[in-house]
Homo-oligomer: A and B are copies of this chain.
Amino acid sequence: MTARARVPEATVARLPVYLQALMRTAEQGEATVSSSGLAEAAGVNSAQVRKDLSYLGTYGTRGVGYPVEELVTEISTFLGVSDDRPVVIVGAGNLGTALASYGGFHERGFRVAAVVDADPHKIGNQLGGLRVEQVDELERIVTERDVTIAVLATPAEAAQSAADRLVAAGITAILNFAPAHLSVPDGVTVRRVDLSTELQLLSFYERSRTTDGAAPPA
């Protein structure tokens, strides 16, 4: 079916992982990939791959597998990352600098449109081909460059006020690296990435491995 009705959230969360694995597969010149091949590259079960892909309405060929290029296109389109989407980075500290200098965004569908900071001392610094701009310029930047996605890389104390500013400027999606919970109005999506949280979970699973046989997260 060309159904494409409701794609479960858990499936959506795996699509970027498939996408990345497929892009590596494509680089290696493979034209098709089986569900079990993709499963191994992504670290999941092959039945899961088939079910996930079936939600997209994408068809493989029985006895053969899935066409790699086609899948890449289809997943990219579904996720909305088929064109480069501009992103603004807020905070030119260590992390903001690292993100701005990261060259890998382009092939994943994003482009750093601007880096802003509140600290006057940092304004004008060159970062990966960009000049750090005043945080007060946010509204202009967002409007002029048509940005809707922001990456928040400020200290925790500054995170909420920066988020308020972003929302006021018209941002509707925030990737939050600050270890703080953000309150935002309905209509704004926030995802959080917290390094310490990840380390704590890792630490827990490591310990429980050695003591009893607790199952790690896939």
Contacts and interface: CB of A to CB of B under 8 A. Distances in A.
A134 interface: no
Contact of A201 (B13, B179, B195): B13
A95 B95 CA distance: 7
A148 B199 contact: no
Interface of A: 9, 12-13, 15-17, 19-21, 24, 41-43, 78-81, 85, 87, 93-95, 97-99, 101-102, 104-105, 108-110, 148-149, 151, 156, 172-175, 179-181, 187, 189, 191, 193-207, 209-210, 215-217
- Complex A-B, nearest 8 residue pairs according to Cβ-Cβ distance, in ascending order: A108-B196, A94-B98, A173-B206, A16-B197, A98-B98, A80-B207, A16-B200, A95-B98
Contact of A108 (B189, B199, B207, B215): B199
A62 B197 CA distance: 29
A134 B163 CA distance: 40
A95 B149 CA distance: 21
A9 B215 contact: yes
Contacts of A202: 149, 173-175, 189, 191
B85 A17 contact: no
Main DSSP-derived SS at the A contact region: helix
Given A20-B194, A94-B97, A174-B202, 16 more contacts: A9-B217, A12-B204, A13-B217, A19-B200, A80-B204, A94-B98, A104-B179, A104-B196, A105-B195, A109-B203, A110-B196, A172-B206, A172-B209, A175-B195, A175-B199, A193-B198
A216 B203 contact: no
A196 B191 CA distance: 12
